[in-house]
Amino acid sequence: MNRMCCILFFITVLFACNKTMKPADYVRWVEDEGNGLRVTRNMGEYAFTLQYKPVDYMIAQEARSNEIAPEYLAKRRQQLGNDLHFNFIIRSNGSNTALKEGTDEAGYFMRTGHFFNEGMDDFKLYSSSDTFDCNFCHLEQTYGLASESVIVLAFEPRSGQVKQPLNESLTMVYDDQVFGVGQLKVKVDGGKMGNVVMGE
C-alpha cells in the first residue's frame, strides 16, 4: 500500500512539474505553430504571421547562446517588464517581397511610409478583460531585400491585467490600410506556456 502511494506521489509530481528547456529549444518551442504562440493567416496574395514573444524568448534571441548567466537573465527579465511583445510578419505568396507585391515603386514607398508614420494606429490587442493600444511599432527596414517584412510591436497592459507568463488567449486586430485585405483578427493562445520554462 505504501509503495503504491509513493508511486502515485511521484507520478503526480512528475506531471505537475514544468518542463525546463535550454534557450535554443525554448526558441524552437515558441516558434512552433502547434504551441499556439505563432499563428499564420493567408489572405489572397499575402500571408500574415503573428508571433508572440515571451520575455525569455527575447532574452534567448539576444544572447544567442545556450548558456545564459542567471544574473543577466534576472536583470533582463526585470528590464523587459510586463509589456507584451509581438512580431507581425508579412510575406507575399507571389514572387515579390510583401511591401512590393501588387504595387509600383510609389506604392512601395507609400506602404513603408505608412508603417513608419501611422502603423501604430493599425494594431490593437485585446484580452478577455480589456483592449490595449499599441505603444511601439517599428518596421524593420530591409529595403526590399528580405522576402518578409517584419513589424515589431509592443503593448503595455495596465498592471495585473495580463499575467506573465501568458496563460490566456490574446487577439490582435490588424486594421489593414495598405494591402487591401481589410480587418484581420489573429489569436494567440498562451494556454501551454505554463508548462514550459527556459532554463539558465
Candidate residues 10, 24, 158, 180; the one interacting with other proteins per rule CB under 8 A: 180
Cβ distance to other proteins smaller for residue 43 or 146: 43
- Identify each DSSP E strand in 101-177 by its residue range: 123-126, 131-139, 148-155, 169-175
Closer residue to other proteins in complex, CB, 44/113: 44
- Which among 194, 183, 155 is positioned nearest to 52, based on CA atoms? 155
E strands in 44-145: 46-53, 84-92, 123-126, 131-139
- 156-175 footprint of other proteins as x/- string (CB under 8 A): ---------------xx---
Least Å distance, CB 130 to other proteins, is 16
Give the residue among 194, 187, 196 at the shortest CA–CA distance from 37.
Answer: 187
How many residues touch other proteins (CB under 8 A)?
14
Instruction: Report, in Å, the least distance between residue 78 CB and other proteins.
Output: 31
Q: For strand 196-198 and strand 131-139, is the pairing parallel, antiparallel, or unpaired? A: unpaired
Q: Return phi, psi of residue 117, to 5°.
A: -100, -45
Q: Which stretch binds other proteins (CB under 8 A): 112-120, 131-139, 157-165, 179-187?
A: 179-187
- Angle, CA 46 vertex, CA 35 and CA 133 arms, to 5°: 65
- β-pair partners for 196: 19
Q: Does 197 bind other proteins (CB under 8 A)?
A: no
Among 19, 64, 158, 187, binds other proteins (CB under 8 A): 187
Task: State which of residues 33, 44, 109, 116 lies at the interface with other proteins (CB under 8 A).
Answer: 44
Residue ranges that bind other proteins, judged by CB under 8 A: 42-44, 171-172, 176, 180-187
